[in-house]
Structure 1
């Protein structure tokens, strides 16, 4: 990947990771793109990370709308194999771990909301602050 006046044209035929607005991560070889930054990946996998575990799901050829892309970057093939600190698990297992993590985050968020409400702080009270 070049720095400075970089364009998507520099990334064609390279293995990339693409992170979307919803947090999903896709890895594949970029084959083409258009003026809207829509991307076509070949040999695509969806990779999910939970804690120190990860899993891959093969998707084949995949089209990604450019307006959903947050970041994309080239993957160094030599360093990709060095994911020894992460444990690869099955797709079903990572989905269960993901759901548990999601549930835990929701419970933490509810607790934060309750603490704020009990303290008299709510979104409505913050948004209705009178200006001086």
Structure 2
């Protein structure tokens, strides 16, 4: 481990017991209190919620204690409790936000399918559309 890695992880110690927002590599957003961190930047969050945003709405799913591998963290920041109440978003139920998220994902998939179809008609292919035989 080089000096920079140690300094980066050591800075996380200043964030212990603070409410943090953590953006994960898979796109999920977690909000919770940082209770522990190790030399690999693995995190233990307490009273964690997973926040799902769709448009101007959001929903919070309680997750409790959550362990995050450091390699999965894209972004981490402290939540400013004074500004948190001023969010220009509307909170909706978990069922509503999950339904909105599902619909949004279906629309994205349909859009991607139409783009892929248009490219194929022009003789172009996306890498995700190619089979193993097409590549070799």
TM-score calculated relative to the size of structure 2: 0.83
Stretch moving more, 91-100 or 58-67: 58-67
Q: Structure 1 regions of 5+ residues with no counterpart?
A: none
Structure with higher helix content: 2
Cα distance, 1:121 vs structure 2: 1.2
1:23 aligns with 2:32: no
Cα distance, 1:36 vs structure 2: 1.2
Partner residue in 2 for 1:117: 120
Give structure 1 regions of 4+ aligned residues with deviation exceeding 2 angstroms: none
1:92 aligns with 2:95: yes
Q: Secondary structure at the match of 2:105?
A: helix
Q: Secondary structure at the match of 1:100?
A: helix
TM-score calculated relative to the size of structure 1: 0.85
Deviations 1:23-47 (A, max 9, x none): 1010011011011111011111110
User: Are the counterparts in 1 of residues 116 and 126 from structure 2 also a CA contact under 8 Å?
Assistant: no
Cα distance, 1:13 vs structure 2: 1.4
RMSD: 1.7
1:61 aligns with 2:65: yes
Cα distance, 1:123 vs structure 2: 3.5
Partner residue in 1 for 2:104: 101
Q: State the distance in 2 between where 1:50 and 1:100 align.
A: 10
Q: Structure 2 regions of 5+ residues with no counterpart?
A: 1-6, 128-133
